[in-house]
Structure 1
Amino acid sequence: MKIAQICPRYSPDIGGVETHVKEISERLVKAGHDVEVITTDPSGKLEKRDTINGVKVIRFRSFAPGNAYYFAPQIYFYLKKHNFDVIHAHSYHALPALFAALGKRERKLVFTPHYHRSGHTAFRNLLHKPYRLFGKVIFSRSDSVICVSEYEKRLVEADFRVEGKTVKIPNGINLKEFEHLRNSQKGKGVEKKKGKEKTLLYVGRLEEYKGVQYIIQSLPELKDFRLQVVGNGPYEEELRNMAKNLGVDERVEWLKNLSREELLECYADADIFLMLSSHEAYGITVAEALAAGIPCVVAKGSALEEFVDGENCAGIENPVTVEKVIDSLQKIEIFKREPVSGILKGIMDWNEVSARIEKEYIRQSNKTNHKLFN
């Protein structure tokens, strides 16, 4: 099967959508499919054509003000000229999916929206109402809509006419990577309690809606904690200045462009993982932290709430405040217990995710064949 994956950005860029597309694409190639990722590069610095772990990648220059929308109409013209059995578009919140829908022709279009209804900034939120007209085009032309959480599925079904199109297939993680990390967490809390600083960890894009500022603003009251921030993004400079002005910059470590092995070391060293984002369709890094045996604190009100179980993952009610973060971290009893056996409940391996998506491609292709012979 010849498959086109359409996404705003791709490896070496990082992020939830980027990870999702990379993980399924490489597994689909191993399963014998011809996979081409059609994406954009606002910087113009990456290779226009590349092959990464068997996945063919083509990048078009895009206009992306504020790292948003990724306007690249070249995607439409490329799809019109090339044949694919299935086109799989990703991310409602960027224009490549629209160009995929417009260039669909008679091919099957699968859409994974990673949808969370509102914009990440006041300006983007203002644009969301007129942008919804484009969104309706994408959903109407899609043959299948894959949602990565129940939260996202409810939003999509409430906001768009997608009756009979939606299917839930969560994001995944590489479960084997975390087996030894879960074992290494056992008893670690007792050792850390003997006077050593405890490590808070955040992994993800540095944008205001991700809520990293609340963690930094909490540090003056959390004398026994230090923070590791892994990621980059447009909010980084403001966060660094905030840490400096609060006098906690020496307790904040900024890390980026880490290898996979280095990121796993960060998980291994962490005592608590925090994700206080106001908009998430899933939360891959939360799933990874839980798989590593690290207790998590997340903001409620998005798909992150689905991880909250009162044992391994605590939830903070919206709106998130510094006081709520401090209270949650001071109350959570994590340093004297071992991870419980149910920690991986609901967390799926990428192999299973890819296999389910492949079945959805086949199901859609069989519908086409059925029409041809009836």
Structure 2
Amino acid sequence: MKIAQICPRYFPDIGGVETHVKEISERLAKAGHDVEVITTDPTGKLNKRDTINGVKIIRFRSFAPGNAYYFAPQIYFYLKKHNYDVIHAHSYHALPALFAALGKRKRRFVFTPHYHRSGHTAFRNLLHKPYRFLGNIIFSRADTIICVSEYEKKLVESDFRVQGKTVKIPNGINFKEFEHLKRHQKKDEEKILLYVGRLEEYKGVQYIIQSLPELRDFRLRVVGKGPYEEELHEMAKDLGVSERVEWLKNLSRRELLECYASSDVFLMLSSHEAYGITVAEALAAGTPCVVAKGSALEEFVDGKNCVGIENPVTVKKVIKVIETLQKLEINEGEWNSGRLKGIVDWNDISVRIEKLYKDIEIIIQNK
């Protein structure tokens, strides 16, 4: 099959959608399919055409105010000129999926919305209601809608007319990366808190920084970059905890895995998540997790390996749950599949998506 994957951003950019598209695209290419990722580059600094691990990448310059929307109508015109068996668009919260839907024609069209229901800032949330009209176009043209969690599936089915179209196929992890990853035994008394992800206000990193004055035995590692970074730096400085915060970015995959394995607690206090790949990876590394309830992150909560904080998240709640988590008896030995209930390998995910592509063709032929 010739497959087009449409997404707002792609590697070397990082994030949940970027990881999802990269993992399935490379596996589909390895399985013998002709895979093109059609994406955008607001900076204009990346190669317009590239090939990484067998996947062809086409990047169009986009207009992305506040790192949002990624307006690139060139995607529509490109799809009109080229033939594909399947067009698979990703992310409801950016415009490339709309241009993919408009360029569908008679081809199979799959949509993975990574849907959060609301915007991530007050302004973007204000625009979310009128944007619903455009969102309806994408959902109406999709032959199948893949949701990455039960939480997301319920939101989509509640907000749009998608009866009979939705299917749950979660994000995954690469089990082989974690099978021989060992937890680091630290000799000193200082413990490490870890956050991995984009630095945006809705991700809740500020609550971790604000808790540090009371958590004197802990340091914080922040892995990622984003528009909220400068404000977080200023916050740490004002609270007098700058020396206890380590800012990391552009890590290799091996370095990131080492961060997971050497941390005592992983935190993801985001208010909007359709899944939570970094939480799954932290659990696979044997690191206890703390997440905010009220999104798909809640599906990881088991009260032991992963503990949830009720919304609204506050500094007092963060401090209390970290102190409670440290008192629990958690097996911090080698990789343990028992803590990975419901977490699936990317190899299995790509096989399920490949089968879905083929099944859509059969359904269309029988209409």
Tell me the TM-score range normalised by the shorter chain.
over 0.9
Contact 2:304/2:328, CA 8 A, preserved across alignment = no
Counterpart mapping for 1:221-232 below 5 A: 221-232=214-225
Matched residue of 2:213: which SS?
helix
Contact 1:173/1:287, CA 8 A, preserved across alignment = yes
Counterpart mapping for 1:80-229 below 5 A: 80-181=80-181, 184-185=182-183, 192=186, 196-229=189-222
Distance in structure 2 (CA, Å) of the matches to 1:203 and 1:98: 29
Q: Give the aligned partner of residue 311 of structure 1.
A: 304
Q: Aligned residue pairs: how many?
A: 364
Matched residue of 1:220: which SS?
coil
> Do structure 1's residue 65 and structure 2's residue 65 form an aligned pair?
yes
Contact 2:75/2:100, CA 8 A, preserved across alignment = yes
Q: Give the aligned partner of residue 285 of structure 1.
A: 278
Letter in 2 for 1:352: D
Shift of 1:369: 3.5
Shift of 1:365: 1.5
Shift of 1:336: 4.7
CA deviations 1:279-317 (Å, max 9, x no partner) are: 000000000000011000000000000000011000000
Distance in structure 2 (CA, Å) of the matches to 1:230 and 1:360: 34
Q: Give the aligned partner of residue 340 of structure 2.
A: 344
Distance in structure 2 (CA, Å) of the matches to 1:311 and 1:77: 51
Matched residue of 2:179: which SS?
helix
> Do structure 1's residue 21 and structure 2's residue 10 form an aligned pair?
no
Q: Give the aligned partner of residue 34 of structure 2.
A: 34
CA deviations 1:164-208 (Å, max 9, x no partner) are: 000000000111111222xx33xx6xx65x751000000000000
Contact 2:284/2:337, CA 8 A, preserved across alignment = no
What is the alpha-carbon root mean square deviation over aligned residues?
A: 1.2
Letter in 1 for 2:113: P
> Do structure 1's residue 297 and structure 2's residue 297 form an aligned pair?
no
Q: Give the aligned partner of residue 233 of structure 2.
A: 240
Counterpart mapping for 1:242-281 below 5 A: 242-281=235-274
Distance in structure 2 (CA, Å) of the matches to 1:156 and 1:272: 32
Matched residue of 2:180: which SS?
helix
Distance in structure 1 (CA, Å) of the matches to 2:259 and 2:327: 18
Letter in 1 for 2:149: S
5+ residue gaps, structure 1, are none
Matched residue of 1:332: which SS?
helix
Shift of 1:333: 3.4
Letter in 2 for 1:6: I
Letter in 2 for 1:369: Q
Contact 2:305/2:330, CA 8 A, preserved across alignment = no
> Do structure 1's residue 52 and structure 2's residue 52 form an aligned pair?
yes
CA deviations 1:195-244 (Å, max 9, x no partner) are: 51000000000000000000000000000000000000000000001001
Distance in structure 1 (CA, Å) of the matches to 2:179 and 2:192: 21
TM-score normalized by the length of structure 2: 0.97
5+ residue gaps, structure 2, are none
CA deviations 1:39-75 (Å, max 9, x no partner) are: 0000000000110111000000000000000000000
Matched residue of 2:212: which SS?
helix
CA deviations 1:118-139 (Å, max 9, x no partner) are: 0000000000000000000000
Contact 1:295/1:334, CA 8 A, preserved across alignment = no
Shift of 1:98: 0.2
